[in-house]
Amino acid sequence: MGKDDILLKVDGLVKHFELSQGFWGRKAVVQAVDDVSFHICQGETLGLVGESGCGKTTVGRTVIKLYEPTAGAIVFDGRDITGLKEKEMRSLRKRMQIIFQDPYASLNARMTVGDIISEPLIIHSLARGPKLREQAVKLLQKVGLSPNYINRYPHEFSSGQRQRIGIARALAVNPDFIVCDEPISALDVSIQAQVVNLLEDLQQEMGLTYLFITHDLSMVKHISKRIGVMYLGKLVELAESSELYQRPLHPYTRALLSAIPVPDPDAAAQKQRVILKGDLPSPINPPAGCRFRTRCQFARDICSRSNPEMIQVGLKHMVACHIVINRLTDRFFNK
């Protein structure tokens, strides 16, 4: 795809949060996202994976301006929206939506399903009167729910049904881009595949573009064209899905992939498990140099001295690792 196909471009995104610590209220800075860059093409799904606390959700909320970025640039459909104020962002909200992780907390318990789905239409003056109910009914049907549910309340539904209601609400304004913030992590395993299939069907039907945030590497492979791996606020690897699974380069990516359960006991017994040592460092005081070095079995002196840059090591494959940069991948990773 060419440059004209890029819907969202993120360059050097930084998001820090200030905290007060201790009795005297000393200021501390949480470096939630630090110098993250990527792009998403029209109609594409970019998966963003990593363990809890790595900054995935912060990236998703910052690119649609629910959080104001500390630094960096966010370009949506050729327009730099980084410094836009809320009033200026209002017209763009119709094109950028989010599906939240928790279907219990993200729906107003005091509103009926019809009111929840209709609210974005009212806010953006897209429908009124009888047309509101007509649109709500169509949206319920689009996500596989009965129109008879329109006057019911969220507590009357299962978690999977609530997530479908959340999806219907996101679709109400006919967006171009949706941040899917761990949309299946709170669902039963039996329901997860149904919701992922629904998202794929809607993408085909409506030409949607997704940023799919998750920690489930076994599921993200099926919905994402490309996958980015985050660790402690940094993007450490970015590649097409098939390439990432077949040829992971960063030691953190290799550890994540090795943790995916294998249903075949014989294959599982032969699978080499990569166990990470230590705990995830604090984003308040991250390690100098490469942030992964404190848990990496291949770490060298250079890893503590300088932060590795993302470099292209293959067709559409980028990685931030000094070992790869120095062309020592095979020597260290395949002992």
Burial of 83 (0-12, 13-18, 19+ CB in 10 A): exposed
* pTM for the predicted model, two decimal places: 0.90
- How far is Cα 3 from Cα 132, in angstroms, rounded to an integer? 38
The pair of three-digit structure tokens given for residue 321, joined into one six-digit string = 């690792």
Residue 60, number of CB atoms within 10 A of its CB: 24
Residues contacting 124, CB < 8 A, separation 6+:
93, 94, 173
In the chain, where the domains are located: 249-335
Look-up of token digits 């009111």: 115
**pLDDT tens-place values along the chain, 335 residues long:** 445 599 999 999 999 998 876 666 678 899 999 999 999 999 999 999 998 889 999 999 999 999 999 999 999 999 999 999 888 898 899 999 999 988 888 899 999 999 999 999 999 988 888 899 999 999 999 999 999 999 999 999 999 999 999 999 999 999 999 999 999 887 888 889 899 999 999 999 999 999 999 988 888 888 999 999 999 999 999 999 999 999 999 999 999 998 876 665 655 556 677 778 878 899 999 999 999 999 998 888 999 999 999 998 888 899 999 987 776 445 545 54
**Contact assessment for residue 292 and residue 236, using Cβ atoms and an 8 Å cutoff:** yes
- The single-letter code of the amino acid at 195 is V
Say which DSSP state 277 is in: P
